[in-house]
Amino acid sequence: MPLMQSDQPIADRARRFAVAPMMDWTTRDQRVFARCLTRRALLYTEMVTTGAILHGSPRERFLGYHDSEHPLALQLGGSDPVELAECAAIAESWGYDEINLNVGCPSDRVQNNLIGACLMGQPELVARCVAAMQSAVSIPVTVKCRIGIDDQDEDQDLTRFVEIVAAAGCRTFIVHARKAWLQGLSPKQNRDVPPLNYPRIHRLKQAFPELHIGSNGGLKTLEECREQLAYVDSVMIGREAYQNPWLLAGVDHAIFGEADAPRTRDDVMLAFRPYIRERLAAGVRLNHITRHILGLYSGCRGGRAFRRHLSENAHRDGAGIEVVDDALALVEAPASALAG
């Protein structure tokens, strides 16, 4: 079923539910798999740095995607307005539906390159970056950030950050509900240790009713997403959508209100199978594809055997589609329908 026609950009219509950008996880193979589960959600690439796009070769390695992935956003990492504007224009020419600036990643490596969450301490620079990108493209330019960094006051400093960046023309902010501690916590710890503060995001929406404010961080169920949507404009799920991909099968109905017919996990694999063949024919190793589907049959009888068979065999030289078929044969019961 095609998306409803609207004067809104396609990314704006899809943003009500998005799958978060995640390094090493939201590759093109994962995104095509996700698209077999949800037609409506907005998908994001991994973060791609401006340096990779401007100086890496071939550019396909960093910007390539499958046509089925739309609506699709490119997340950029960088802090030079000129370079970001050039990369945004390149991304638009490649057909991306949105450009998102990473102002949330807390790793040391990106901090040293003035990328990610450290930019929350420099809202004027972020504003210049956003303005430069918007002047270069006609698609939406958005910002993904945290509620704060280090000793920043979550209310005062986040409000100031959004106020300054919005004045430069940014209309959409996706906010991770945890602070990022740039010193003392690892990137992994920054995903779990700082407490979640959804009310801070809700207050942000109240302060800026004219802006699109999205909530991200710690959401695990579609019911939790619906609860958030009573206060904010959109939700974004990361790790849970990756580790429990069947969750995405309920998005079009629960979040977008589509009256989907019940589907099964086997239907998803049937839809994904031609893509696996296509990628194998292009020389991609099977385990680079199947690592993203290991959680599909979680909770089903035979689900562990499915996961184990792929883990033990997909990496072997010459592994082909028959490895997937053999793994599917180990699922003992018919995959439960979406309505079940």
DSSP-assigned beta bridge partners for residue 235: 17, 215
Of the residues 105, 129, 145, 170, only one is catalytic, namely 105
Tokens 């809104």 correspond to 8
Q: What angle do CA 339, 16, 145 make, to 5 degrees?
A: 130
Beta-sheet pairing, 17-19 with 141-146 = unpaired
Nearest to 219 by CA among 209, 229, 211: 229
Nearest to 307 by CA among 286, 293, 322: 293
Distance of CA 319 to the CA centre of its chain: 29
CB–CB of 246/298 below 8 Å?
Answer: yes
Q: DSSP letter at 240? A: H
Tokens 């400093």 correspond to 157
CB–CB of 334/264 below 8 Å?
Answer: yes
DSSP code per residue over 44-88? EEEEEEHHHHHH-SSTHHHH---GGG-SEEEEEE---HHHHHHHH
Q: How far is the C-alpha of 238 from the C-alpha of 187, rounded, in Å?
A: 15
Q: What angle do CA 238, 251, 289 make, to 5 degrees?
A: 55
CB–CB of 142/174 below 8 Å?
Answer: yes
Q: How far is the C-alpha of 269 from the C-alpha of 276, rounded, in Å?
A: 10
The answer to whether residue 105 is catalytic is: yes
CB–CB of 31/7 below 8 Å?
Answer: no
Determine phi and psi for 258, rounding to 5 degrees.
-80, 145
Write out the catalytic residue numbers: 105
